[in-house]
Structure 1
Amino acid sequence: EVRLGPAEGGGFASKLQLAAARGAAAARLGRAWRLAGHLGWYTNNSGCLRLLGLEGFARGGWRCHFEPLAPLAGREPRRPGCLRRPPPFPRAAVSWGAWQAALLRPSRALRPGLAHLAERAGYDTSRPLLAAHVRRGDKTTNVYNRYHAGRAYVAEALRAAKELQLCRQPQAPCQLFVASDAPTALGEVREAVREFGASGFVEVIGLASSASQRHSAVGVELARASLGAEAYGMALEVLFDLEVLSRALVLVATLASQVARVAASVGLAHGSLLRAVALDATNLQEMRALFAGLGVRVDDVPWWPPQAYD
């Protein structure tokens, strides 16, 4: 069984990475494995209990948010706008991104909620997507991260879009999705896009307010203080961020954020990610050493250092 202890990992993405690492380790040894237990309060809450029923909840909370693991070869590619199926597993080596993509498949029960959040955010699957993950909260006090203004994310996204020849059609401008635990981030990014004179070909989208933003604080796991519907809703919001970030052609973020690293790995596995920029790319060596003991990779994605702004 792949099971996480109540105190293992930090937020949602951190727990997902630990589970992927343990599943990969078991598979390398030729052992059969299955997901068990809970992802902290993200699944150990009354919302998941109601959804799964007492017996299902006792077996574990993974099915509250994710489709069960199944043979992954021979799947048909998805239609645009539909939830993605995982990339096929090769018979021998499996990439770190493919492991995470296999786990990160929202359940059918979550899909109406994800569609509602997409509508709230203004997400249009037919348009080229850039993304910025502005992680603050406890990360701004982390020794591996420093504060980056919204302008820094926008400068790198616009530079990458120009070099990759994206966002060139005024009648269908790119969308720049902003995922953040800070309620001010969306406004910062919109203002920066205006300052750079890019409003005509880049539309900024995102959730103006969310439960995760309201609960973000120094050293606090998002769902720790909530056991009911609010904890369930916070998990849904994190999954929405991961889903949309992983669809981006360009992602600007920080390596200190597990959400950003998971999204980039999944996007690379699906073939959607063209460029990932880490504003804290100088921390790569230290981050690699920090997570190596957990079996979690931080260098599977070719992260670009910032070039346009520092």
Structure 2
Amino acid sequence: MTVLVTGAAGFVGYHVCEALLARGEEVFGVDEINAYYDPSLKQARLARLERHTGFRFAKLSIADRDAVAEVMRKETEVDRIVHLAAQAGVRYSMVDPYAYVAANLMGHVVMLEAARHRPGLKHFVYASSSSVYGGNTKMPFSESDPVDLPVSLYGATKRADELMSHSYSHLYGLPQSGLRFFTVYGPWGRPDMAYFSFARAIMEGTPITLYDNGTLRRDFTYIDDIVSGVLGVLDRPPAAQAPRLLNIGNNRSETVRHLVSLLEEGLGRSAIIRDVPCPASDVTDTFADISAIKALTGFAPRTPLDVGIPRFLEWFKGWNRAR
């Protein structure tokens, strides 16, 4: 049988595909490989996946319902879906909101429709985000916390995805799990994320922007820990009309300034810092309560930030030398 992975050339999607292939799964990946960030990085991830005999790929937009339907007609062995494709980025949602409506809303509905029309589909796992918690101040964030007031359009689209998924479980008995990711980082990561863009700026000797002197806090979660959680959840589908929402994070909140200090140490250079007030789209703190996913799968993050950042930098230096 086959796992369909959307966003297969993306950061998390690439690593999830690698892990599935490593355990002998057949994987069919889809991705539109857009230009939100450097497509050459996405192409490089895809090239690594295509070395595996168990991997197949189609370039398409998940918002294109005809293209997705055609894939589902041809890929008759798909029995699980890991839906990770989305328009990412909190701040970019204020630049191009339409991209978020197309990918995150229309794209999610298209994939739900594809899933509900697949006989015998075992599990639909999809990416949500810690952004759904908005400006919540109770720490750590728990899945039972109210999530009615997102502070970014990106967060609003992810909450809408959760609500649509709930309705599909109720109406059609579709087994689903939504994963609220917390600040994922690591090798082959996204250049628009702070840790990556900061590393590049420090290497180039250009300024980095810190909000509120770097006092914002994030639950930085290493990619290998994320992948172990995704696969653990995928292997444990819920009952047909009992959809799940699960935090997947490191269960530890650290300052952005500490992140910068680790980058400075690993690169052997000091950052040039420009301090500005925090914009309205950003939250002060994220911190995941992971008791639910731990109880379900035994999930236990193993990678603290001071271990994960050196691993990222090792890859980052090699990536830059090769370009």
Give the TM-score normalised by structure 1.
0.29
Give the TM-score normalised by structure 2.
0.28
Bigger relative contact order, structure 1 or 2, given CA contacts below 8 A and separation 6+?
1
